[in-house]
Amino acid sequence: MKDRIVPIVQSVPRSAEIISMENGLRSLYEEIADILDQDEVEKFPSYFIDDCMYQVVSRENYSEALPQAAIYCDGIHMVRDRVTALRETQVFVPRIWRHFISGVRITGISDGDIHARANFLVTEAMSDADPTVFLVGQYLDVLVHEGGSLKFKQRLAVFDNHHVRRSLIFPV
C-alpha cells in the first residue's frame, strides 16, 4: 500500500523566482476550483500524473497516520473511476458548490518535486436553501512537471471538519 508523501516544510527563500512559481500555482489552483465549481469534473483527472495519490481525508485520520480516507484514490484509474461513478451511478440531490482558495505557499522543493499547501473553503447550496460552509481545510500537495505543465503527484485535501455534513459528492 502506498503511503502518503510527507510534506517537506523548509525555509524557502522569498525570491522573485519562488514568488513567480507561487503565482503560477495560485493560477493553477484557481483553474481547478473553477472547473469543479462549473461542474466540469471530467477535466479533473487531467491535473494528475498516472502514478498519483488523491485523497480527501479528515485531519483526524491524517494526523494519526491512518490510511483510510473519505475519498481514496491510489493512481489515475481510481481518480477517473470517481468521475465515472459520479456521472453514471450516483444518486444525490443537486446542489451548487463553490471553492475559495487562499494562502498558496511553496513549502519545499526536492528533486523537482514542489511541495505546496493552501487553504480551501467549500460552500454548498441546495436549490431550496441558502449556502452553508461545507468543508474547510488545507491542501497538502506535491507537484511535478510533466509534458510542459505542473501536475499533481499527490493532492491531499485534509479537512478540519469533525463531520462531513450529509454527503461528500464532488472532489474537493
46 is a site residue for another protein (CB under 8 A)? no
Q: Would strands 48-58 and 149-159 be described as parallel, antiparallel, or unpaired?
A: parallel
Among 1, 3, 112, 127, binds another protein (CB under 8 A): 1
The 82-101 contact track toward another protein, x by CB under 8 A, reads --xx--xxxxxx--------
Query: For 4, phi and psi rounded to 5 degrees?
Result: -65, 140
153 in Cβ contact with 49 (< 8 Å)? yes
25 is a site residue for another protein (CB under 8 A)? no
The 48-77 contact track toward another protein, x by CB under 8 A, reads --------x-x-xx--x-xxxxxxx-xx-x
18 is a site residue for another protein (CB under 8 A)? no
Q: Which residue has the cell 489515475?
A: 76
Q: Which residue, 64 or 130, is less far from another protein as judged by CB?
A: 64
Three-state DSSP state, 91: coil
Q: How far apart are CA 112 and CA 144, in angstroms?
A: 6
Residue-level length of the chain: 172
Positions touching another protein (CB under 8 A) are 1, 56, 58, 60-61, 64, 66-72, 74-75, 77-78, 80-81, 84-85, 88-93, 162-169
